[in-house]
Structure 1
Amino acid sequence: MKFSIKKIGKLNRFFYRLFCNLIYILKRDESKETEIIENINKFSPYLLNNKKEFRKIYKDMLGQKYLYGVSYLDEYFLYDFPKRNWAERQNFVYTDEYLNCTKKIKTKEVEDNPILKDKFLAYQTLKKYYKRDIVKINSFEDFSEFSSFTKKHPVFLIKKETGSLGKNIIKYDLSNGKINARTLFLSLLSKGQWIAEEIIQQCDEMASFHPESVNTVRIATYYDENKKLTKLFAMFRTGSGDSVVDNASSGGICASIDLNSGIIESDGYRKNGEIVKNHPDTNHIIKDYQIPRWNELLKLADELAFAVPYYNYIGWDFALTNDGWVVVEGNSRPNINSIQMCSGKGLRKILDETVGLN
Structure 2
Amino acid sequence: MKDGRLADVVFSSLRYEVAPDEYWYFDFPVKSAAERAEWAGTTAMWKAQRRFVEKDAIGVFAHKERFMQKFGHLMASGGDSFIYARSDFSRAESLVGGDWFLKPADGQCGAGGFHLDAKALQAAEVARILEVRLAEGSRYILERCLVNHEALRRVNPSCLNTLRIVTGNDGKNAEILFARARFGNGADVDNLSAGGFATVVDHRTGRVVSDAVSTNTGRAVYFPKHPITGVEFRAIEIPHWDKVVELALAASRVEPRARVVGWDIAVCEDGVYLVEGNHNWCKILWQLPARKGMKKELAKYVQRFG
> What SS class does the counterpart of residue 338 from structure 1 fall into?
helix
Q: Matches of 1:124 and 1:63 in 2, distance apart?
A: 44
Q: Counterpart of 2:265 in structure 1: which amino acid?
A: F
Q: Counterpart of 1:90 in structure 2: which amino acid?
A: A
Contact 2:158/2:188 (8 A) holds in 1? yes
Q: Matches of 1:135 and 1:185 in 2, distance apart?
A: 16
Given the two structures, how large is their TM-score scaled by the length of structure 2? 0.85
- Displacement of 1:139 in angstroms is 7.5
Contact 1:215/1:239 (8 A) holds in 2? yes
Describe the shift of the 1:246–1:189 C-alpha distance in structure 2 as closer, same or farther (beyond 3 A): closer
Deviations 1:172-217 (A, max 9, x none): 2332226266777788573311122110021111101110111111
Alignment of 1:235-246 (within 5 A): 235-241=180-186, 243-246=187-190
- Displacement of 1:285 in angstroms is 1.1
User: Could you tell me which residue of structure 2 aligns to residue 263 of structure 1?
Assistant: 207
User: Could you tell me which residue of structure 1 aligns to residue 266 of structure 2?
Assistant: 319
Describe the shift of the 1:349–1:134 C-alpha distance in structure 2 as closer, same or farther (beyond 3 A): same
Q: Matches of 1:253 and 1:108 in 2, distance apart?
A: 31
Deviations 1:143-197 (A, max 9, x none): 799578525x522122111111111112223322262667777885733111221
Given the two structures, how large is their TM-score scaled by the length of structure 1? 0.73
In the alignment, does 2:179 pair up with 1:234?
A: yes
Aligned length: 298
Contact 1:136/1:146 (8 A) holds in 2? no
Deviations 1:256-305 (A, max 9, x none): 22222222222111123122221111111112422222222112211111
Q: Matches of 1:308 and 1:341 in 2, distance apart?
A: 29
Contact 2:40/2:293 (8 A) holds in 1? yes
In the alignment, does 2:86 pair up with 1:138?
A: no
Contact 2:89/2:127 (8 A) holds in 1? no
Report which of the two structures shows the higher radius of gyration computed on alpha carbons.
1
Alignment of 1:75-224 (within 5 A): 75-111=22-58, 114-138=59-83, 150-151=95-96, 154-174=98-118, 175-177=120-122, 179=124, 188=134, 190-224=136-170
Q: Counterpart of 1:311 in structure 2: which amino acid?
A: A
Q: Matches of 1:117 and 1:144 in 2, distance apart?
A: 29
Contact 1:232/1:350 (8 A) holds in 2? no
Describe the shift of the 1:269–1:182 C-alpha distance in structure 2 as closer, same or farther (beyond 3 A): closer
Using the aligned pairs only, state the percent identity.
24
In the alignment, does 2:12 pair up with 1:64?
A: yes
Q: Considering only aligned residues, what root-mean-square deviation do their CA atoms show, in Å? A: 3.0
Q: Matches of 1:200 and 1:145 in 2, distance apart?
A: 24
Q: Matches of 2:72 and 2:190 in 1, distance apart?
A: 22
- Select between 317-326 and 342-351 the one with higher mean Cα deviation: 342-351
Describe the shift of the 1:173–1:100 C-alpha distance in structure 2 as closer, same or farther (beyond 3 A): same
Contact 1:137/1:146 (8 A) holds in 2? no
Instruction: Tell me which of the two structures has the higher relative contact order, counting C-alpha pairs closer than 8 angstroms and 6 or more residues apart.
Output: 2
In the alignment, does 2:280 pair up with 1:333?
A: yes
Q: Matches of 2:115 and 2:240 in 1, distance apart?
A: 28
Alignment of 1:268-347 (within 5 A): 268-271=212-215, 272=218, 273-308=220-255, 310-347=257-294
